[in-house]
Amino acid sequence: MRDVGLAVLVTINLVVLVYFVLLNSVYLFTSMTAFRSLRRYTQRLKSVDVDEILRSGAALPVTVVAPAYNEEPTIVEVTQSLLTLEYPDYQVVIVNDGSKDRTLELLTETFELVPAPRAPSSDIETAPVRGTYRSTRHPNLLVVDKVNGGSKADAINAGLNFVRTPLFLIIDSDSLLESQALTRVSRPFLEDDRTIAAGGIVRIVNGSAVRSARVVDVRMPRNLLARFQVLEYLRAFHAGRVGWAALNATMIISGAFGLFRRSAVADVGGLNTDAIGEDIDLTIRLHRQCRENGLPYRIVYIPDPVVWTEGPENLKSLAGQRKRWQRGLIQVLTRNIRMLLNPRYGTMGTLAFPYYFFFEMLGPVVEVAGYAAFAATIILGLGSAPYILAFLALAIALGVALSVAAVGLEELTFCRYRRTSDLVGLFWLAIIENIGYRQLNSLWRIKGTFDYFRRAEGWGEMPRKGFATGD
């Protein structure tokens, strides 16, 4: 019996070791690809005049769709920020998804909304629309008031039904767009008509100074959990998404900030209302629709258009978010399992999908199994001190190296955290996140995996603070 237990333990340790080497090799590869890609991109930015799009009259009309559910603390500021974007031809559609708070009242009072009929441009099925309102102060603002449909996707679909422009932007109604973000994110659509979706970077706003719905001073958050998220987002966007985009395998256009060709999204029937992660679900369905029908297309990620979002500052909210992300990931990967290692889907099928399947989805299981086996090895006295030390040192060193590389990419490109103390803080976080935070994340994702298979649902409430912070 002892021999069997030992064999299991040895096997788990071996699997974890192999998994660990492979995972970090992928991270290293995407980081290196991202380095090359970001360097070229920043050089390219210097050779294009972004304002020229604004002056030329060539900008493609865009509708910004922001679903709002109980967004009383931020809705006015966010709407104001959306109405002051530097873009020549755009509309804003706020979808009040049956809010129980004063979201609609605040919008009505602030923007002087009046009931105004609006004919739909498409007929995607959604929960009933109670009414449409136009602002007497801002002719490009439309508010759609609807019955809560139980999902963000339903609210976006309701907005999409009223979009009349070739492009539409999905943004969370608790996020702040930088004023030039729309101009920048729309460029790929001008440069290549095959582009059907483009995403930009999402950054954590906590701690930064916000005035008149604009981030005026970028600072690191004071809250430790939010600080960890700053580093995580830098790693996920700079090293992850840029790297995958360079391989033409963008698998997620974030629901917090994504520009889509309206016709392409309407052709796939809008967003999936039963999808837990409606953003990754939509991106994958767009890939599939185009690949399976032989349609030329591009889905791209570009690193400079920025949207700022509030990150959870307590364990409960963060855990809820991470569990939901994991459930969404499992759902979309299992629904589209035919893409796995399928060359018909190009680099998406052969590289990105397997990565998300084996490392992002199954990763937490392997990781937690590894922690358990590692603990058992120590407790049962089966491993020598050098083994334990070497394993720990390698795990931490790799984690630190990859995080610091992401910070380096930020310095190489956009350098948004200007204070030296912020830079030092990011280095420090790169070390300490490996002890505790990383393990917590894996546990939450394991819980998310169980929840998915137990069909447990829930979004996890996140208390909103509003943006008037950081001064």
Partner 1 sequence: MEYPLGLPFSDRDFQYVTLAVLVVLACAVAFTLAAAWLRAANNRKQLRWARLQGQWEPVIIRVLAGEMPESQLRSLVPKKDERYFVGFLLRYARRLKGVEHDAVLRLAVPYLSTIARDLGHRSPELRARALQTLGELSILDYSNEFLQALNDPSPLVAMNAAHALARHYQPAHAVRLIRCLERFEEWNIRYLAAMLANMGPESAQVLRDAFRDRSRPPRIRAVIALTLASLNDAGSVDLATQVTEAERQTDLVIAALTLIEKVGGSEQLPAVRRLLESTDFAVRARAVTTLAALGTAEDTARIRSGLDDESNWVALHAAQGLRDMGRVDLLEELANSDHPRAVAAQEMLWEMRA
Question: Which spans of this chain sit near partner 1 (rule: CB under 8 A)?
Answer: 6, 9-10, 13, 40, 43-44, 46-49, 51-52, 56-58, 60, 116-123, 134, 136, 164, 189-194, 377, 381-384, 386-387, 390-391, 393-394, 397-398, 400-401, 404-405, 407-408, 410-412, 415, 420, 423, 427
Minimal distance, residue 200 CB to partner 1, in Å = 19
With respect to partner 1, which residue has the nearer C-beta, 15 or 362? 15
Minimal distance, residue 167 CB to partner 1, in Å = 11
Picking from 30, 37, 17, the residue whose alpha carbon sits closest to that of residue 402 is 30
Minimal distance, residue 410 CB to partner 1, in Å = 8
With respect to partner 1, which residue has the nearer C-beta, 60 or 268? 60
| Packing angle, helices 2-46 and 363-379, rounded to 10 | 130
Q: Which parts of 348-415 fold into alpha helices (H)?
A: 353-355, 363-379, 385-412
Amino acid at 106: L
With respect to partner 1, which residue has the nearer C-beta, 190 or 315? 190
* 3-state SS, residue 330: helix
β-pairing verdict for 90-97 and 62-68? parallel
Amino acid at 298: R
Q: Which helix (H) or strand (E) holds 345?
A: none
Alpha carbon separation from 448 to 27, 121, 232, 306, 344 (Å, rounded): 23, 38, 19, 29, 31
Minimal distance, residue 399 CB to partner 1, in Å = 9
Minimal distance, residue 341 CB to partner 1, in Å = 29
With respect to partner 1, which residue has the nearer C-beta, 122 or 469? 122
With respect to partner 1, which residue has the nearer C-beta, 282 or 407? 407
Could you give the angle at the alpha carbon of 446 between the alpha carbons of 445 and 451, nearest 5°?
90
Who's near 85: CB < 8 A, 6+ residues apart?
64, 177, 179, 181, 182
With respect to partner 1, which residue has the nearer C-beta, 382 or 443? 382
Minimal distance, residue 81 CB to partner 1, in Å = 25
